[in-house]
Structure 1
Protein backbone atom coordinates (compact mmCIF):
# COMPACT_ATOMS: atom_id res chain seq x y z
CA UNK A 1 0.00 0.00 0.00
CA UNK A 2 1.50 3.36 -1.00
CA UNK A 3 1.13 6.64 0.88
CA UNK A 4 -1.39 9.16 -0.53
CA UNK A 5 0.34 11.84 -2.59
CA UNK A 6 -0.48 15.27 -1.19
CA UNK A 7 2.31 17.55 -2.37
CA UNK A 8 5.64 17.74 -4.15
CA UNK A 9 7.32 16.67 -0.93
CA UNK A 10 5.11 13.60 -0.71
CA UNK A 11 5.98 12.77 -4.31
CA UNK A 12 9.63 13.31 -3.49
CA UNK A 13 9.61 10.71 -0.69
CA UNK A 14 7.02 8.34 -2.25
CA UNK A 15 7.86 4.64 -2.08
CA UNK A 16 6.67 1.61 -4.03
CA UNK A 17 6.91 -1.64 -2.03
CA UNK A 18 8.79 -4.56 -3.53
CA UNK A 19 6.25 -7.19 -4.66
CA UNK A 20 8.01 -10.02 -2.81
CA UNK A 21 10.28 -8.53 -0.14
CA UNK A 22 8.72 -6.45 2.64
CA UNK A 23 12.04 -4.81 3.53
CA UNK A 24 12.62 -3.24 0.10
CA UNK A 25 11.11 -0.20 -1.63
CA UNK A 26 11.62 1.71 -4.85
CA UNK A 27 11.95 5.50 -4.85
CA UNK A 28 12.23 8.07 -7.63
CA UNK A 29 14.58 10.92 -6.72
CA UNK A 30 13.37 14.01 -8.54
CA UNK A 31 15.60 16.63 -10.18
CA UNK A 32 13.64 19.32 -8.36
CA UNK A 33 15.36 18.36 -5.08
CA UNK A 34 18.90 18.98 -6.29
CA UNK A 35 21.42 21.27 -4.65
CA UNK A 36 24.94 21.62 -5.93
CA UNK A 37 26.05 18.29 -7.33
CA UNK A 38 23.33 16.02 -5.96
CA UNK A 39 20.01 15.46 -4.21
CA UNK A 40 19.56 17.42 -0.98
CA UNK A 41 20.67 15.45 2.09
CA UNK A 42 17.54 16.31 4.07
CA UNK A 43 15.31 14.95 1.29
CA UNK A 44 17.33 11.72 1.22
CA UNK A 45 17.01 11.40 4.99
CA UNK A 46 13.23 11.87 4.67
CA UNK A 47 13.07 9.11 2.01
CA UNK A 48 14.88 6.70 4.34
CA UNK A 49 12.80 7.92 7.27
CA UNK A 50 9.60 7.28 5.34
CA UNK A 51 10.66 3.69 4.59
CA UNK A 52 11.42 3.06 8.26
CA UNK A 53 8.10 4.57 9.36
CA UNK A 54 6.33 2.03 7.14
CA UNK A 55 8.26 -0.80 8.80
CA UNK A 56 7.79 0.29 12.40
CA UNK A 57 3.98 0.07 12.60
CA UNK A 58 2.85 1.36 15.99
CA UNK A 59 6.04 3.43 16.22
CA UNK A 60 5.48 5.77 13.26
CA UNK A 61 7.72 8.72 14.17
CA UNK A 62 11.49 9.09 14.04
CA UNK A 63 12.79 10.13 17.46
CA UNK A 64 16.48 10.08 16.58
CA UNK A 65 17.84 9.43 13.10
CA UNK A 66 21.43 9.56 11.85
CA UNK A 67 22.45 9.40 8.21
CA UNK A 68 25.92 8.84 6.76
CA UNK A 69 26.29 10.12 3.19
CA UNK A 70 28.49 7.75 1.22
CA UNK A 71 28.17 9.14 -2.31
CA UNK A 72 26.23 11.85 -4.11
CA UNK A 73 22.68 10.82 -5.07
CA UNK A 74 21.46 11.79 -8.54
CA UNK A 75 17.96 12.21 -9.99
CA UNK A 76 16.44 8.89 -10.99
CA UNK A 77 15.35 5.57 -9.51
CA UNK A 78 16.74 4.35 -6.20
CA UNK A 79 16.32 1.31 -4.01
CA UNK A 80 15.66 1.56 -0.27
CA UNK A 81 16.41 -1.43 1.95
CA UNK A 82 15.34 -1.55 5.59
CA UNK A 83 15.98 -3.78 8.56
CA UNK A 84 14.08 -3.86 11.86
CA UNK A 85 16.80 -4.31 14.48
CA UNK A 86 14.75 -4.19 17.66
CA UNK A 87 11.05 -3.89 18.48
CA UNK A 88 10.12 -2.73 21.98
CA UNK A 89 6.93 -1.50 23.62
CA UNK A 90 7.69 2.21 23.41
CA UNK A 91 10.58 2.35 20.92
CA UNK A 92 11.97 0.40 18.00
CA UNK A 93 15.23 0.67 16.13
CA UNK A 94 15.99 0.03 12.48
CA UNK A 95 18.43 0.71 9.67
CA UNK A 96 17.89 1.83 6.08
CA UNK A 97 20.09 2.10 3.01
CA UNK A 98 19.52 4.03 -0.22
CA UNK A 99 21.33 2.78 -3.33
CA UNK A 100 21.45 3.68 -7.02
CA UNK A 101 22.90 1.40 -9.72
CA UNK A 102 24.43 -0.81 -7.05
CA UNK A 103 26.22 2.07 -5.28
CA UNK A 104 25.16 2.95 -1.75
CA UNK A 105 24.27 6.62 -1.28
CA UNK A 106 23.07 6.81 2.33
CA UNK A 107 23.17 4.55 5.40
CA UNK A 108 20.78 5.34 8.27
CA UNK A 109 20.32 4.18 11.86
CA UNK A 110 17.17 5.38 13.61
CA UNK A 111 15.03 4.97 16.71
CA UNK A 112 11.27 5.29 16.27
CA UNK A 113 8.41 5.93 18.66
CA UNK A 114 5.11 7.79 18.84
CA UNK A 115 5.54 11.54 19.28
CA UNK A 116 1.83 11.78 20.02
CA UNK A 117 2.49 10.12 23.39
CA UNK A 118 5.20 12.56 24.39
CA UNK A 119 3.01 15.64 24.87
CA UNK A 120 3.72 16.52 28.49
CA UNK A 121 5.47 19.09 30.65
CA UNK A 122 8.42 20.74 28.94
CA UNK A 123 11.40 21.96 30.96
CA UNK A 124 13.72 24.00 28.78
CA UNK A 125 15.93 27.05 28.70
CA UNK A 126 15.84 27.12 24.88
CA UNK A 127 14.21 30.11 23.22
CA UNK A 128 13.09 30.49 19.59
CA UNK A 129 15.19 32.78 17.40
CA UNK A 130 14.15 36.43 17.46
CA UNK A 131 13.54 37.84 13.99
CA UNK A 132 11.03 39.95 12.07
CA UNK A 133 7.72 38.39 10.94
CA UNK A 134 7.75 36.53 7.60
CA UNK A 135 6.42 39.47 5.60
CA UNK A 136 9.43 41.55 6.71
CA UNK A 137 12.02 38.90 5.85
CA UNK A 138 13.73 38.22 2.52
CA UNK A 139 12.25 35.60 0.17
CA UNK A 140 14.35 33.20 -1.89
CA UNK A 141 13.31 35.01 -5.06
CA UNK A 142 15.85 37.66 -4.05
CA UNK A 143 18.70 35.14 -3.70
CA UNK A 144 21.82 35.59 -5.85
CA UNK A 145 21.33 34.02 -9.31
CA UNK A 146 24.37 31.77 -8.77
CA UNK A 147 22.66 30.24 -5.71
CA UNK A 148 19.37 29.68 -7.50
CA UNK A 149 21.15 27.99 -10.39
CA UNK A 150 22.62 25.31 -8.12
CA UNK A 151 19.66 24.91 -5.76
CA UNK A 152 16.56 23.81 -7.68
CA UNK A 153 14.89 22.75 -4.43
CA UNK A 154 14.51 26.39 -3.36
CA UNK A 155 11.61 26.65 -5.83
CA UNK A 156 9.71 24.20 -3.60
CA UNK A 157 10.21 26.31 -0.47
CA UNK A 158 8.59 29.44 0.84
CA UNK A 159 11.72 30.49 2.70
CA UNK A 160 12.00 33.95 4.29
CA UNK A 161 15.46 34.70 5.66
CA UNK A 162 16.11 37.08 8.54
CA UNK A 163 17.60 40.28 7.03
CA UNK A 164 20.17 40.35 9.84
CA UNK A 165 21.71 37.08 8.59
CA UNK A 166 21.88 37.58 4.81
CA UNK A 167 24.72 40.06 4.41
CA UNK A 168 26.53 37.32 2.48
CA UNK A 169 24.00 37.75 -0.36
CA UNK A 170 25.39 41.25 -1.04
CA UNK A 171 29.03 40.42 -0.37
CA UNK A 172 28.96 41.43 3.31
CA UNK A 173 28.90 38.23 5.39
CA UNK A 174 28.72 38.85 9.14
CA UNK A 175 31.35 36.14 9.83
CA UNK A 176 29.23 35.06 12.83
CA UNK A 177 28.26 31.74 11.21
CA UNK A 178 24.47 32.00 11.59
CA UNK A 179 21.57 31.93 9.13
CA UNK A 180 17.94 31.86 10.24
CA UNK A 181 14.50 32.36 8.81
CA UNK A 182 10.91 31.22 8.37
CA UNK A 183 10.09 28.05 6.44
CA UNK A 184 7.07 26.43 4.87
CA UNK A 185 6.53 24.50 1.66
CA UNK A 186 5.52 26.58 -1.37
CA UNK A 187 2.51 24.36 -2.08
CA UNK A 188 1.10 24.83 1.42
CA UNK A 189 1.64 21.31 2.77
CA UNK A 190 1.67 21.47 6.56
CA UNK A 191 4.70 20.20 8.51
CA UNK A 192 4.96 16.73 10.02
CA UNK A 193 7.88 14.70 11.47
CA UNK A 194 9.13 13.53 8.06
CA UNK A 195 9.17 17.09 6.73
CA UNK A 196 11.27 18.14 9.73
CA UNK A 197 14.03 15.85 8.42
CA UNK A 198 14.13 17.96 5.26
CA UNK A 199 13.88 21.26 7.14
CA UNK A 200 16.97 20.39 9.21
CA UNK A 201 18.98 20.69 5.97
CA UNK A 202 16.92 23.29 4.11
CA UNK A 203 18.66 26.62 4.72
CA UNK A 204 21.77 27.75 2.81
CA UNK A 205 24.98 26.44 4.45
CA UNK A 206 26.15 28.61 7.34
CA UNK A 207 29.52 28.84 5.62
CA UNK A 208 27.88 31.44 3.35
CA UNK A 209 27.84 33.73 6.40
CA UNK A 210 31.56 33.04 6.86
CA UNK A 211 32.32 34.30 3.36
CA UNK A 212 32.59 30.80 1.88
CA UNK A 213 29.93 30.40 -0.84
CA UNK A 214 29.34 27.14 -2.64
CA UNK A 215 28.02 23.64 -2.13
CA UNK A 216 28.88 22.09 1.27
CA UNK A 217 28.50 18.28 0.98
CA UNK A 218 27.06 16.63 4.11
CA UNK A 219 29.13 13.84 5.68
CA UNK A 220 26.77 12.97 8.54
CA UNK A 221 23.43 14.37 9.73
CA UNK A 222 21.63 13.53 12.98
CA UNK A 223 18.15 14.83 13.77
CA UNK A 224 16.36 14.58 17.12
CA UNK A 225 12.60 15.08 16.94
CA UNK A 226 10.89 16.38 20.07
CA UNK A 227 7.23 16.84 19.07
CA UNK A 228 4.86 16.76 16.13
CA UNK A 229 4.76 20.29 14.71
CA UNK A 230 1.62 22.41 14.69
CA UNK A 231 0.39 23.75 11.32
CA UNK A 232 1.92 26.98 10.06
CA UNK A 233 5.30 28.58 9.70
CA UNK A 234 8.43 26.98 11.11
CA UNK A 235 11.26 29.07 12.54
CA UNK A 236 14.67 27.62 11.64
CA UNK A 237 18.12 28.61 12.87
CA UNK A 238 21.45 27.19 11.61
CA UNK A 239 24.78 28.02 13.23
CA UNK A 240 28.39 26.87 13.41
CA UNK A 241 31.11 27.50 15.97
CA UNK A 242 34.04 25.66 14.47
CA UNK A 243 35.61 25.27 11.03
CA UNK A 244 38.75 23.14 10.98
CA UNK A 245 40.60 20.82 8.64
CA UNK A 246 38.23 21.53 5.77
CA UNK A 247 35.09 20.55 7.72
CA UNK A 248 32.49 22.34 9.83
CA UNK A 249 29.59 21.45 12.07
CA UNK A 250 26.13 22.94 11.52
CA UNK A 251 23.65 22.96 14.39
CA UNK A 252 19.97 23.55 13.63
CA UNK A 253 16.87 24.22 15.68
CA UNK A 254 13.33 24.06 14.29
CA UNK A 255 10.46 25.74 16.14
CA UNK A 256 6.78 25.37 15.24
CA UNK A 257 3.99 27.96 15.16
CA UNK A 258 3.13 27.19 18.80
CA UNK A 259 6.64 28.21 19.86
CA UNK A 260 7.80 24.66 20.62
CA UNK A 261 11.24 23.31 19.81
CA UNK A 262 10.19 20.40 17.58
CA UNK A 263 13.55 19.32 16.13
CA UNK A 264 17.28 19.72 16.71
CA UNK A 265 20.06 18.57 14.46
CA UNK A 266 23.80 18.53 13.96
CA UNK A 267 25.65 17.74 10.77
CA UNK A 268 29.25 17.48 9.74
CA UNK A 269 29.93 18.86 6.28
CA UNK A 270 32.84 19.74 4.02
CA UNK A 271 33.79 23.38 3.60
CA UNK A 272 32.83 24.57 0.09
CA UNK A 273 35.63 24.57 -2.45
CA UNK A 274 36.82 28.07 -3.10
CA UNK A 275 37.84 29.42 -6.53
Structure 2
Protein backbone atom coordinates (compact mmCIF):
# COMPACT_ATOMS: atom_id res chain seq x y z
CA UNK A 1 0.00 0.00 0.00
CA UNK A 2 1.32 3.43 -0.94
CA UNK A 3 1.30 6.20 1.64
CA UNK A 4 -1.16 8.14 -0.54
CA UNK A 5 -3.64 5.27 -0.20
CA UNK A 6 -3.02 5.17 3.54
CA UNK A 7 -4.02 8.83 3.78
CA UNK A 8 -7.25 8.40 1.78
CA UNK A 9 -9.50 7.90 4.86
CA UNK A 10 -8.57 11.33 6.26
CA UNK A 11 -11.33 13.86 5.62
CA UNK A 12 -11.76 17.57 6.28
CA UNK A 13 -14.24 16.68 9.02
CA UNK A 14 -11.71 14.69 11.05
CA UNK A 15 -13.21 12.66 13.89
CA UNK A 16 -13.47 8.89 13.95
CA UNK A 17 -11.23 7.39 11.23
CA UNK A 18 -10.30 3.80 10.42
CA UNK A 19 -7.13 2.90 8.52
CA UNK A 20 -6.43 -0.34 6.68
CA UNK A 21 -3.12 -1.88 5.63
CA UNK A 22 -1.25 -0.55 8.65
CA UNK A 23 0.81 -3.74 8.83
CA UNK A 24 3.01 -2.23 6.10
CA UNK A 25 3.75 0.82 8.25
CA UNK A 26 4.30 -0.71 11.69
CA UNK A 27 7.37 -0.31 13.89
CA UNK A 28 6.94 -2.89 16.61
CA UNK A 29 3.51 -2.44 18.16
CA UNK A 30 2.90 1.09 16.90
CA UNK A 31 2.63 2.98 13.65
CA UNK A 32 5.97 4.27 12.34
CA UNK A 33 6.54 7.80 13.67
CA UNK A 34 6.91 9.46 10.27
CA UNK A 35 3.62 7.93 9.09
CA UNK A 36 1.72 8.96 12.23
CA UNK A 37 3.16 12.49 12.01
CA UNK A 38 2.06 12.65 8.37
CA UNK A 39 -1.46 11.56 9.32
CA UNK A 40 -1.63 14.41 11.85
CA UNK A 41 -0.27 16.89 9.29
CA UNK A 42 -2.70 15.71 6.61
CA UNK A 43 -5.61 16.04 9.03
CA UNK A 44 -4.61 19.67 9.60
CA UNK A 45 -4.19 20.73 5.97
CA UNK A 46 -7.36 18.96 4.82
CA UNK A 47 -9.35 20.71 7.53
CA UNK A 48 -7.86 24.15 6.89
CA UNK A 49 -7.20 24.50 3.17
CA UNK A 50 -6.06 28.14 3.05
CA UNK A 51 -2.97 27.78 5.24
CA UNK A 52 0.34 29.31 4.07
CA UNK A 53 3.38 27.03 3.59
CA UNK A 54 4.59 24.89 6.48
CA UNK A 55 7.67 26.30 8.23
CA UNK A 56 8.15 24.24 11.40
CA UNK A 57 6.63 21.55 13.60
CA UNK A 58 6.79 19.98 17.05
CA UNK A 59 5.58 16.39 17.31
CA UNK A 60 5.25 14.29 20.47
CA UNK A 61 4.90 10.52 20.15
CA UNK A 62 2.86 9.82 23.27
CA UNK A 63 1.67 6.21 22.96
CA UNK A 64 1.19 3.45 20.35
CA UNK A 65 -1.14 4.32 17.46
CA UNK A 66 -3.40 1.67 15.93
CA UNK A 67 -5.87 1.43 13.03
CA UNK A 68 -8.95 2.98 14.70
CA UNK A 69 -8.37 6.58 15.73
CA UNK A 70 -9.99 9.92 16.36
CA UNK A 71 -8.40 12.85 14.53
CA UNK A 72 -8.61 16.22 16.28
CA UNK A 73 -7.30 19.52 14.90
CA UNK A 74 -7.78 23.20 15.65
CA UNK A 75 -6.33 26.55 14.68
CA UNK A 76 -4.70 27.90 17.83
CA UNK A 77 -3.94 31.27 16.30
CA UNK A 78 -4.39 32.78 12.84
CA UNK A 79 -2.37 35.96 12.36
CA UNK A 80 -1.76 38.08 9.29
CA UNK A 81 1.33 36.07 8.29
CA UNK A 82 1.51 33.07 10.62
CA UNK A 83 -0.98 30.34 11.50
CA UNK A 84 -0.40 27.87 14.31
CA UNK A 85 -2.37 24.62 14.22
CA UNK A 86 -2.62 21.78 16.74
CA UNK A 87 -3.55 18.28 15.57
CA UNK A 88 -3.85 15.12 17.64
CA UNK A 89 -4.39 11.39 17.19
CA UNK A 90 -6.47 9.63 19.85
CA UNK A 91 -6.86 5.85 20.27
CA UNK A 92 -9.23 4.20 22.74
CA UNK A 93 -9.85 7.50 24.49
CA UNK A 94 -6.17 8.35 24.95
CA UNK A 95 -3.95 10.79 23.06
CA UNK A 96 -1.22 8.90 21.19
CA UNK A 97 0.28 11.80 19.21
CA UNK A 98 0.08 15.55 19.55
CA UNK A 99 1.60 17.96 17.03
CA UNK A 100 1.95 21.72 16.68
CA UNK A 101 2.36 23.01 13.11
CA UNK A 102 3.59 26.48 12.20
CA UNK A 103 2.58 27.85 8.80
CA UNK A 104 3.87 31.18 7.52
CA UNK A 105 3.73 33.38 4.45
CA UNK A 106 7.00 34.42 2.82
CA UNK A 107 8.50 37.69 4.00
CA UNK A 108 11.01 40.03 2.41
CA UNK A 109 14.38 38.72 3.56
CA UNK A 110 16.14 40.88 6.16
CA UNK A 111 18.67 38.14 6.93
CA UNK A 112 19.89 35.60 4.45
CA UNK A 113 22.59 32.92 4.32
CA UNK A 114 22.70 29.32 3.18
CA UNK A 115 22.98 26.32 5.48
CA UNK A 116 26.49 24.92 5.75
CA UNK A 117 27.38 22.36 3.05
CA UNK A 118 27.40 18.66 3.85
CA UNK A 119 30.57 17.52 5.61
CA UNK A 120 32.22 14.52 3.95
CA UNK A 121 29.93 14.47 0.92
CA UNK A 122 29.32 10.75 0.25
CA UNK A 123 28.70 11.06 -3.48
CA UNK A 124 25.33 10.67 -5.14
CA UNK A 125 22.89 7.84 -4.46
CA UNK A 126 23.35 6.21 -7.87
CA UNK A 127 26.82 4.93 -6.95
CA UNK A 128 25.91 3.96 -3.37
CA UNK A 129 25.55 0.39 -2.10
CA UNK A 130 22.16 -0.89 -1.00
CA UNK A 131 21.69 -0.91 2.80
CA UNK A 132 19.24 -2.56 5.21
CA UNK A 133 18.02 -5.01 2.59
CA UNK A 134 16.09 -7.69 4.46
CA UNK A 135 16.85 -5.91 7.74
CA UNK A 136 15.05 -3.46 9.97
CA UNK A 137 11.37 -2.95 10.80
CA UNK A 138 8.51 -3.75 8.43
CA UNK A 139 7.86 -0.16 7.43
CA UNK A 140 11.36 0.15 5.94
CA UNK A 141 11.24 -3.16 4.08
CA UNK A 142 7.80 -2.40 2.62
CA UNK A 143 8.12 1.27 1.73
CA UNK A 144 11.68 2.58 1.47
CA UNK A 145 14.85 2.08 -0.51
CA UNK A 146 17.94 2.74 1.62
CA UNK A 147 21.52 3.14 0.37
CA UNK A 148 24.78 3.70 2.21
CA UNK A 149 26.12 7.23 2.61
CA UNK A 150 29.07 6.62 4.97
CA UNK A 151 31.89 4.11 5.17
CA UNK A 152 31.47 3.46 8.89
CA UNK A 153 29.91 0.18 9.98
CA UNK A 154 29.16 -0.98 13.51
CA UNK A 155 30.18 0.92 16.68
CA UNK A 156 31.92 4.28 16.37
CA UNK A 157 31.06 7.95 16.01
CA UNK A 158 27.33 8.22 16.88
CA UNK A 159 26.15 9.25 13.41
CA UNK A 160 23.92 7.30 11.01
CA UNK A 161 23.76 8.63 7.45
CA UNK A 162 21.88 7.02 4.56
CA UNK A 163 20.32 7.84 1.22
CA UNK A 164 16.58 7.16 1.41
CA UNK A 165 13.59 7.33 -0.89
CA UNK A 166 10.04 6.08 -0.98
CA UNK A 167 9.41 3.17 -3.32
CA UNK A 168 5.90 4.53 -4.12
CA UNK A 169 5.57 8.29 -3.75
CA UNK A 170 2.90 9.03 -6.35
CA UNK A 171 0.32 11.54 -5.15
CA UNK A 172 2.48 12.80 -2.30
CA UNK A 173 3.60 16.44 -2.17
CA UNK A 174 7.27 17.17 -1.30
CA UNK A 175 6.57 18.55 2.20
CA UNK A 176 4.54 15.47 3.13
CA UNK A 177 7.37 13.34 1.76
CA UNK A 178 9.88 15.02 4.07
CA UNK A 179 7.61 14.53 7.10
CA UNK A 180 7.37 10.86 6.22
CA UNK A 181 11.13 10.52 5.67
CA UNK A 182 12.44 12.70 8.48
CA UNK A 183 12.29 9.96 11.12
CA UNK A 184 13.24 7.00 8.90
CA UNK A 185 16.72 6.16 10.27
CA UNK A 186 17.68 4.66 13.63
CA UNK A 187 19.25 7.15 16.06
CA UNK A 188 22.94 7.93 15.97
CA UNK A 189 23.15 6.64 19.54
CA UNK A 190 22.75 3.16 18.08
CA UNK A 191 26.50 3.22 17.31
CA UNK A 192 27.33 4.01 20.95
CA UNK A 193 25.11 1.34 22.55
CA UNK A 194 27.04 -1.21 24.63
CA UNK A 195 24.59 -3.94 23.67
CA UNK A 196 21.62 -4.30 21.38
CA UNK A 197 18.30 -3.17 22.80
CA UNK A 198 15.06 -1.42 21.86
CA UNK A 199 14.97 2.28 20.99
CA UNK A 200 11.94 4.57 20.75
CA UNK A 201 11.40 8.11 19.46
CA UNK A 202 9.72 10.32 22.06
CA UNK A 203 9.43 13.58 20.17
CA UNK A 204 10.59 15.34 17.01
CA UNK A 205 10.84 19.02 16.17
CA UNK A 206 12.01 20.42 12.85
CA UNK A 207 12.30 23.52 10.70
CA UNK A 208 11.73 23.37 6.96
CA UNK A 209 14.43 25.37 5.19
CA UNK A 210 12.66 25.23 1.82
CA UNK A 211 8.86 25.61 1.57
CA UNK A 212 8.82 23.68 -1.73
CA UNK A 213 11.75 21.23 -1.50
CA UNK A 214 12.96 19.44 -4.62
CA UNK A 215 15.37 16.59 -5.33
CA UNK A 216 16.30 14.14 -8.08
CA UNK A 217 14.63 10.75 -8.48
CA UNK A 218 13.11 10.92 -5.00
CA UNK A 219 16.46 10.62 -3.16
CA UNK A 220 17.12 12.47 0.12
CA UNK A 221 20.27 12.26 2.25
CA UNK A 222 19.22 11.60 5.85
CA UNK A 223 21.44 11.93 8.93
CA UNK A 224 20.79 11.20 12.61
CA UNK A 225 23.57 12.32 14.95
CA UNK A 226 23.54 11.84 18.71
CA UNK A 227 24.66 15.07 20.41
CA UNK A 228 24.56 13.55 23.91
CA UNK A 229 23.49 10.19 25.31
CA UNK A 230 23.11 9.34 29.01
CA UNK A 231 20.58 8.22 31.62
CA UNK A 232 18.67 6.15 29.04
CA UNK A 233 18.07 8.98 26.54
CA UNK A 234 19.78 10.45 23.50
CA UNK A 235 19.50 14.00 22.15
CA UNK A 236 19.66 13.69 18.37
CA UNK A 237 20.05 16.15 15.52
CA UNK A 238 18.14 15.09 12.37
CA UNK A 239 18.93 16.62 8.99
CA UNK A 240 17.85 16.05 5.40
CA UNK A 241 19.56 17.21 2.20
CA UNK A 242 18.48 16.83 -1.40
CA UNK A 243 20.45 14.90 -4.01
CA UNK A 244 22.55 18.00 -4.78
CA UNK A 245 23.62 18.49 -1.17
CA UNK A 246 21.27 21.37 -0.34
CA UNK A 247 19.86 21.10 3.19
CA UNK A 248 16.06 21.17 3.30
CA UNK A 249 15.23 20.17 6.92
CA UNK A 250 16.87 20.72 10.29
CA UNK A 251 15.49 18.99 13.36
CA UNK A 252 16.01 17.55 16.83
CA UNK A 253 14.67 14.49 18.59
CA UNK A 254 14.68 12.86 22.02
CA UNK A 255 15.09 9.07 21.85
CA UNK A 256 14.65 6.54 24.65
CA UNK A 257 17.52 4.02 24.67
CA UNK A 258 16.52 0.93 26.61
CA UNK A 259 18.88 -1.59 28.21
Short-chain TM bin: 0.7 to 0.9
In the superposition, the TM-score normalised over structure 1's length comes to 0.81
Contact between 2:17 and 2:70, CA under 8 Å: does it hold in 1?
yes
Quickly say closer, same or farther: Cα 1:200–1:27, change in 2 above 3 A.
Answer: farther
Given the alignment, which residue of 223, 241, 254 partners 2:227? 241
SS at match of 1:238: strand
The Cα of 1:223 is off from its aligned counterpart by: 1.7
Contact between 1:36 and 1:215, CA under 8 Å: does it hold in 2?
no
Quickly say closer, same or farther: Cα 1:188–1:80, change in 2 above 3 A.
Answer: closer
Q: Distance in 2 between matches of 1:80 and 1:41?
A: 16
Quickly say closer, same or farther: Cα 1:234–1:139, change in 2 above 3 A.
Answer: same
Alignment partner, residue 180 of structure 1: 161
Matches within 5 A, 1:152-191: 152-165=139-152, 167-168=153-154, 173-174=155-156, 176-189=157-170
Question: Are positions 1:40 and 2:32 aligned together?
Answer: yes
Given the alignment, which residue of 6, 11, 34 partners 2:5? 11
The Cα of 1:119 is off from its aligned counterpart by: 9.9
Alignment partner, residue 4 of structure 1: none
Q: Distance in 1 between matches of 2:14 and 2:173?
A: 27
Q: Distance in 2 between matches of 1:27 and 1:86?
A: 29
**How big is each residue's C-alpha offset from its partner over 1:95-152, in whole Å with a ceiling of 9 and x where there is no partner?**
11101222211011121135xx479785035112511332333324545x4x3xx333
**How big is each residue's C-alpha offset from its partner over 1:56-88, in whole Å with a ceiling of 9 and x where there is no partner?**
3222532111111221123x1222110111112
Contact between 1:86 and 1:92, CA under 8 Å: does it hold in 2?
yes
The Cα of 1:24 is off from its aligned counterpart by: 3.2
Contact between 1:53 and 1:61, CA under 8 Å: does it hold in 2?
no
The unaligned stretches of length 5 or more in structure 2 are none
**How big is each residue's C-alpha offset from its partner over 1:183-240, in whole Å with a ceiling of 9 and x where there is no partner?**
2111254761112112110012222222454432111111211212114221111101
The unaligned stretches of length 5 or more in structure 1 are 1-6
SS at match of 1:46: helix
SS at match of 2:168: coil
Given the alignment, which residue of 213, 230, 234 partners 1:229? 213
Contact between 2:15 and 2:70, CA under 8 Å: does it hold in 1?
yes
The Cα of 1:37 is off from its aligned counterpart by: 3.0
